[in-house]
Structure 1
Amino acid sequence: MLGIPRYFGLRGNALNLAISWIAGLDFLLFGYDQGVTGGLLDLESFIKYFPDINDKAEGISDAESKARSTYQGITVAAYNLGCFLGAVFTIFVGNPLGRRKTIFYGSIIMTIGALLQCTSYDLPQFVVGRIVTGWGNGMNTSTVPTWQSETAQAHARGRLVMIEGMLITAGIMISYWINYGMAWIGDNEVSWRFPLAFQIVFALIIFSAILNLPESPRWLLMQGREEDALQVLEALNDKHREDPFIKNEFESVKLTVLEMSKGSYASLFKMSEYREFHRVVLAYVNQMFQQISGINLITYYAPLLFQDIGLGHNNYPKLLAACNGTEYFLASLVPIFIIERIGRRKLMLFGAAGMSLSMVALAVSLQQLQKSQAEGKGNTAGPAQAVFLFVFNTFFAIGWLGMTWLYPAEIVPLRIRAPTNALSTSGNWIFNFMVVMITPVAFANIQWRTYVIFAVINAAIFPVVYFFYPETRYRSLEEMDDIFKKSSNVFDVVSISLNEPHRYDKDGQLKPEYIDGVMQRKSVHDEQKVEHSEGSS
């Protein structure tokens, strides 16, 4: 590749970190896109070109204000609609293109969309640009977790994908601070065109580097490219192909790929011994839960929320939003260090409980604030509102931020992993679209009760996770197939996942008692190949 060494000359841990860095950069770009627009909505230089979404304009009626809040929701949520369309598109092109090429084309599409946005002079072009940007991001977010999980070792997979989640918040934080800095330069159009254009830098790095990094060895085996898959495994583990670990890993993956290579899109809705539809539903609902928790009513509209609680002067809303984003980023560091020790289920349960209680506090404090303002008593509950916006983000960052990019990739069988992750990601984006779309309308019509709705939803998430979501900690992708094969209904898979012995230790080493089993399955497979060859002859 233009004289550049294969995989940039990296092997082992360094190569795994490079994959994580590019995968994380895509999620940083995803976070940046989420956070950047909310800080532009109140800029005079922005409103000048897009007055139809300014619901705070002086001299307009309540009806006009509510109509403009709807237009605002449509404009901001157009990005999420594009992400949904891109995710659905990936269901059909993800496996034929492969993991790397899908991310490559997705990054190019995002660049085109960013150019359309930052050069807009009217609302239709701006909305189209957001849809195009979202389309590319939908392709990437449907593919990156799959690529990451299929190239990572079982003991490190959770931590690496949590780093991706952390980088979402890093992108949000960067966008908030850029918006805050741009707010001080007055009516110059660069205050909103530069933040929108800056995302192109991230996309350029991604599509410039992605094709010189390893393809998923599992996808390569699905395409019959055994030599390429073996070379990737050697590079990822920095071991020679004759090493017992590489032999066991290669044969384990190969046997699973060969056994399950007959899958089709229709398999997403079947219930064979691998319980495909059961696992697809778990993946889809997991992604849906992340969005209906209400996180993006804060992420997309944080500056406006701080403005509406009486903190609107001297660019304080943007400063508080930037601080909120920074605290969000710091909280997202926590699961990187505890995800493999504590496990997926406990973090999801912790997050759901904390988010529900935070939403209750937000509802109560906003009700008191609106009551005090109506009675002319001033801003008595505003500080409490600000605090619990921070608290909610903390629980979400620890429990759910990276989880829904990790868990669906771990829970589904290989033959439908790519289309399932695309489908589940489409669920993430369509519910993301719904939340971002209704937020301005809900606050305009039912005010503090908006938070009550999300408090109830988060409370309902807790028992669903407890009873239906199995633990995937320290499990290889192939182990999850065996766990679901032993399951007979939707209720017993949790207990099986908690009680089934692990094949790998916490350092990712295959336990001695399983080495013979892997080699025995290889021997049986070789005998079957010989018998098939003789029968054909």
Structure 2
Amino acid sequence: MPKVSRPYWGLRGGWLTFWITTACGADMTLLGYDQGVFSGVVISQDFLRTHNLESPSKTTLLGTVTAIYDIGCFLGSILAYWLGERLGRKNTILLGSTVMSIGAILQVSSYSVGQMMAGRVIGGIGNGLNTSTAPIWQVETSKMHLRGKLVILENVLVLVGFSLANWLNYGLSFVNGPVSWRFPWHSNSFSFSSCSSLRHGFLSLRVLRRWLMTHGREEEAIQIIADLEDKDLDDPFVQLQRSEMKYSIEYERANSVSFSDILHRKANEKAGTKTIRRLLLGMGVQAMQQFSGINVGSYYLPTVLTKSVGLGESLARLLTACNSVQYLLFSLIGIPNVERWGRRKLLIFGATGQCVCYIFITALIRYNEMPEYAHRHQVASASVAFFFLYYVFFGIGMQGVPWLYPTEINSLTMRTKGAALGAATNWIFNFMVVEVTPIGIQNLGWRFYIIWIVLNAAMIPTIYFFYPETAGRSLEDMDDYFRTNPGLLVFRDKEAISSKRPEKYQAKDQYIIHAKEDVAIEESQHLEVAV
């Protein structure tokens, strides 16, 4: 007999999910490396001399060179909005990885501000394509009880790349000349190796069940459901997922709102699925991640520690590298708790802790600007502990959930667009933060950090009052929830904010499964009688 070719390397169930996560995780690790490497580059004297950015008068330009990467990410996310459904998840990420590698080559070979900025924009476009798409792919191929954990794990892998870049920056701080900043940008080889593994993974793992179902390839979609669940095609659970997805697709096609309708304010004519509200919730949580002030540190922590706290450059680099390790380790706490605590509680926990940390940071840094105070440097240096503690709260609460939430809250037909708009929101506010931080530190001093106290404090009631819980729900459950025309203030609805799946959804699933089992038994009995 001829050998039967099995898809996805013959993997099914848990192993298939594992390799999907590995492929997505390689992409996110590359993102973390690219984010972390520039914090050491911007304080390299050779980099500043080569690009004529040494003068304090060039602070604004230096901020733009750093932040322009986020404009590229924004453009890439918008591009993913238009291309994501046409190309599919796999091809979009392959395109993004290739573009990202081209950007890395331009940056590593740069001798001018123009080339560096061009490389950062191009690299950002690739990153925007990837970060808008990889979380969707993970969410759509994950079991309900693993979905949040796996997306949070992906974001923890961002920190693996981030930590690697920071330790490399510290090691090269003892080296003079171009190698101190060009060698880290030899991440182009790192990029190519990651792209290679991604290509092999994605070419083999065509597990896009909801995308296939949406595009009329139902038989392939059902086979993928069976493979991911490690069940037979006629299993009642597989058929349940099939029927729920088909119903959601048909309902959304009849009631969803196009982007053109949104722009022309025609959404109310077909707003049965609360499309605009769901888009705004996903975009809002991504904006909150940037309003937390994380990229004050991610891009500029060595600068903050030297300018605001008064530490030496070598010690600032060492502390930044050490912080990246504890940031990574504490982020692991979010993996098991994203389902146990739920998205809302993690976000509120993170925002509360971040607000408190910035209160202490602001109060302590103020002493560094009091020349009459004898121990001002010693007191200001105590703020380092609260920078470290800030990353603990952010790593547990805010690191991964903003990337997960838009993929869960948006409907099937708007999921790619919603994730792309969410990522675009993240990157445009990222640009704003990275652009203003060096100017704010230089001109406002300790008062600059008050901004982040206020913004973190404002997040707490916003999340509590307006954000429904998505933990424990299937993606189809969220469609059911918004079909009921829920009120804007969700905190009054205990089912909407519970981290456990509401009983009505469990009961519906059991009813459908039993009904399908009864149908299967009747068909079997009729067949026996006929025989």
The 8 Å contact of residues 286 and 402 in structure 2, kept in 1 or not, is answered as yes
CA distance in 2 between partners of 1:502 and 1:480 (Å): 14
Residue 260 of structure 2 aligns with which residue?
266
Task: Tell me the amino acid that sits aligned with residue 404 of structure 1.
Answer: P
Residue 356 of structure 1 aligns with which residue?
355
Give the 3-state SS of the residue equivalent to 1:427 in structure 2.
helix
Deviation at 1:518, TM superposition (A): 7.9
Residue 531 of structure 1 aligns with which residue?
none
Higher mean C-alpha deviation, range 277-286 or range 43-52: 43-52
Question: Which of 209, 218, 225 in structure 2 is aligned with 1:217?
Answer: 209
Deviation at 1:375, TM superposition (A): 4.4
Task: Tell me the amino acid that sits aligned with residue 339 of structure 1.
Answer: V
CA distance in 2 between partners of 1:502 and 1:105 (Å): 42
Give the 3-state SS of the residue equivalent to 1:51 in structure 2.
coil
Residue 367 of structure 2 aligns with which residue?
368
Residue 383 of structure 1 aligns with which residue?
381
Query: How do 1:108-147 residues align onto structure 2 when only pairs under 5 Å count?
Result: 108-147=98-137
The 8 Å contact of residues 76 and 436 in structure 1, kept in 2 or not, is answered as yes
CA distance in 1 between partners of 2:486 and 2:222 (Å): 35
CA distance in 2 between partners of 1:476 and 1:106 (Å): 29
Question: Which of 253, 256, 266 in structure 1 is aligned with 2:248?
Answer: 256
Deviation at 1:38, TM superposition (A): 1.0
Task: Tell me the amino acid that sits aligned with residue 12 of structure 1.
Answer: G
Task: Tell me the amino acid that sits aligned with residue 259 of structure 2.
Answer: Y
CA distance in 2 between partners of 1:244 and 1:203 (Å): 38
1:378 and 1:276, CA in 2 relative to 1: closer, same or farther beyond 3 A? closer
Query: How do 1:43-442 residues align onto structure 2 when only pairs under 5 Å count?
Result: 43-52=44-53, 54-55=54-55, 65=56, 67-187=57-177, 189-198=178-187, 199-200=190-191, 201-261=193-253, 263=256, 264-266=258-260, 270-271=267-268, 272-308=271-307, 309-313=309-313, 315-371=314-370, 373=371, 375=373, 377=375, 379-442=377-440
CA distance in 2 between partners of 1:158 and 1:11 (Å): 20
The 8 Å contact of residues 236 and 516 in structure 2, kept in 1 or not, is answered as no
The 8 Å contact of residues 108 and 182 in structure 2, kept in 1 or not, is answered as yes
CA distance in 1 between partners of 2:216 and 2:202 (Å): 22
1:11 and 1:434, CA in 2 relative to 1: closer, same or farther beyond 3 A? same
Higher mean C-alpha deviation, range 161-170 or range 206-215: 206-215
Higher mean C-alpha deviation, range 418-427 or range 202-211: 202-211
CA distance in 2 between partners of 1:237 and 1:119 (Å): 47
1:105 and 1:517, CA in 2 relative to 1: closer, same or farther beyond 3 A? farther
The 8 Å contact of residues 474 and 504 in structure 1, kept in 2 or not, is answered as no
Unpaired runs of at least 5, structure 1: 56-64, 522-537
Deviation at 1:160, TM superposition (A): 0.5
The number of residue pairs the alignment matches comes to: 502
The 8 Å contact of residues 149 and 157 in structure 1, kept in 2 or not, is answered as yes
1:223 and 1:519, CA in 2 relative to 1: closer, same or farther beyond 3 A? farther
CA distance in 2 between partners of 1:238 and 1:192 (Å): 48
The 8 Å contact of residues 212 and 220 in structure 2, kept in 1 or not, is answered as yes
The 8 Å contact of residues 367 and 376 in structure 2, kept in 1 or not, is answered as no
Q: Does 1:38 align with 2:36?
A: no
Give the 3-state SS of the residue equivalent to 2:199 in structure 1.
helix
Higher mean C-alpha deviation, range 120-129 or range 510-519: 510-519
1:291 and 1:254, CA in 2 relative to 1: closer, same or farther beyond 3 A? same
CA distance in 2 between partners of 1:267 and 1:340 (Å): 35
1:193 and 1:70, CA in 2 relative to 1: closer, same or farther beyond 3 A? same
Deviation at 1:378, TM superposition (A): 5.0
CA distance in 1 between partners of 2:491 and 2:194 (Å): 40
1:503 and 1:155, CA in 2 relative to 1: closer, same or farther beyond 3 A? farther
Deviation string for 1:394-441 (max 9, x for gaps)? 111111110011111110111111111111110000000000000000
1:404 and 1:300, CA in 2 relative to 1: closer, same or farther beyond 3 A? same
Give the TM-score normalised by the residue count of structure 1: 0.89
Deviation at 1:13, TM superposition (A): 0.7
CA distance in 2 between partners of 1:178 and 1:195 (Å): 7
CA distance in 1 between partners of 2:281 and 2:20 (Å): 27
Task: Tell me the amino acid that sits aligned with residue 300 of structure 2.
Answer: Y
The 8 Å contact of residues 218 and 257 in structure 1, kept in 2 or not, is answered as no
Task: Tell me the amino acid that sits aligned with residue 310 of structure 2.
Answer: G
Deviation at 1:487, TM superposition (A): 2.8
Higher mean C-alpha deviation, range 376-385 or range 191-200: 376-385
Deviation at 1:144, TM superposition (A): 1.1
Deviation at 1:102, TM superposition (A): 0.6
CA distance in 2 between partners of 1:323 and 1:480 (Å): 40
CA distance in 2 between partners of 1:43 and 1:352 (Å): 33
Unpaired runs of at least 5, structure 2: 520-531
1:362 and 1:413, CA in 2 relative to 1: closer, same or farther beyond 3 A? same
CA distance in 2 between partners of 1:32 and 1:69 (Å): 24
Residue 28 of structure 2 aligns with which residue?
27
Higher mean C-alpha deviation, range 18-27 or range 117-126: 18-27
Deviation at 1:123, TM superposition (A): 1.2
Task: Tell me the amino acid that sits aligned with residue 220 of structure 1.
Answer: L
Deviation string for 1:86-136 (max 9, x for gaps)? 111111111111111111100100011011111111111011000000001
CA distance in 2 between partners of 1:294 and 1:224 (Å): 43
1:7 and 1:127, CA in 2 relative to 1: closer, same or farther beyond 3 A? same
Deviation at 1:8, TM superposition (A): 3.0
Q: Percent identity?
A: 38
The 8 Å contact of residues 75 and 128 in structure 2, kept in 1 or not, is answered as yes
Give the 3-state SS of the residue equivalent to 2:399 in structure 1.
coil
Task: Tell me the amino acid that sits aligned with residue 234 of structure 2.
Answer: E
1:512 and 1:445, CA in 2 relative to 1: closer, same or farther beyond 3 A? same
The 8 Å contact of residues 268 and 280 in structure 1, kept in 2 or not, is answered as no
Higher mean C-alpha deviation, range 470-479 or range 212-221: 212-221
The 8 Å contact of residues 248 and 519 in structure 1, kept in 2 or not, is answered as no
Task: Tell me the amino acid that sits aligned with residue 243 of structure 2.
Answer: E
1:31 and 1:268, CA in 2 relative to 1: closer, same or farther beyond 3 A? farther
1:254 and 1:374, CA in 2 relative to 1: closer, same or farther beyond 3 A? farther
CA distance in 2 between partners of 1:440 and 1:48 (Å): 18
Task: Tell me the amino acid that sits aligned with residue 445 of structure 1.
Answer: N
Residue 522 of structure 2 aligns with which residue?
none
Residue 527 of structure 1 aligns with which residue?
none
CA distance in 1 between partners of 2:32 and 2:463 (Å): 25
Higher mean C-alpha deviation, range 452-461 or range 208-217: 208-217
